[in-house]
Amino acid sequence: MKTTIIIFIIATLTSFANHKYIIDCNSKLLDASLDSAMSQVGIIELTNNNDGSVQKYLDLFNLKRASYCAAGQYWSFFVTAKYLKLSNSEIPIKKTAVASDMFIHGKRNGILTHYKSQKHDLIFWKMRKSYHGHVERVSKVLRAGWVITIGFNSRIRDGKGNYIEGVFLQKRNIYHPLGRKKILGIIGFRRV
């Protein structure tokens, strides 16, 4: 009986259509953009209302007080490309502040591959029947689908149990939903 339940759970988890797509990225841009993203860890919002120091990610899109998870990921590539004196056309992800748009662009331009996480991957979640989603970048791969990510527009609890919103390292699983958001897929990168 116990074996049957375990097989059922594994079959259920693997029956969901998890997809990973690979897109090309300049090696120097890929590595240095992760450093740019890591340099933002610990930046917090002024009033937990998508404001304050996080506004610089939204400035690229002329937005104010909007969700910035995708904007922060794009910002990491943008500032790195500028520093490396590369054209913005070398940025492998779509310039958008909408996570699901970023994933769809990667899917259209990428190559379908095995669903497994690697350092640098972007993991996408999306609410069913909604454009609301979220994206985070893998900084470290653990075991059994667990990863450490850099999450722009994410939150942690302070010592008093209150939420602080900003840019934080998170522990996620590539098979698990994020609240009510289901896994949309992964965009990975092939070094060129």
Residue among 31, 191, 188 nearest 103 (CA): 188
The pLDDT of residue 13 is 44
Asked whether residue 13 is domain-assigned, the answer is no
Q: In the prediction, which pLDDT does 109 show? A: 97
Domain membership of residue 3 (yes or no) is no
pLDDT on residue 2: 61
148 belongs to a structural domain? yes
The reported pLDDT for the residue numbered 11 is 43
Residue at 5 is within a domain: no
Q: Which pLDDT score is estimated for 26? A: 98
Q: Which pLDDT score is estimated for 131?
A: 83
This prediction's pTM: 0.90
CA distances from 57 to 51, 133, 185 (A): 10, 17, 23
Q: Could you tell me if residue 138 is left (phi over 0), alpha (psi between -120 and 50 degrees) or otherwise beta?
A: beta
In a domain? residue 60: yes
In a domain, 117, yes or no: yes
The count of domains in the chain is 1
Task: Report yes or no on 28 lying in a domain.
Answer: yes
**How high is the pLDDT of residue 14?**
44
pLDDT < 50 regions, the chain: 4-15
Closest by CA position to 99, among listed 31, 185, 164: 185
**SS3 track for the chain:** CHHHHHHHHHHHHHHCCCCEEEEEECHHHHHHHHHHHHCCCCCEECCCCCCECCHHHHHCCCCCCCCCHHHHHHHHHHHHHHHCCCCHHHCCCCCCCCHHHHHHHHHHHCEEECCCCCCCCEEEEECCCCCCEEEEEEEEECCCCEEEEEEEEEEEECCCCCEEEEEEEEEEECCCCECCEEEEEEEEEEEC
Query: Which range of residues forms the domain containing residue 53?
Result: 18-191
Tens digits of per-residue pLDDT, 154-181?
Answer: 999 998 999 999 999 999 999 999 999 9
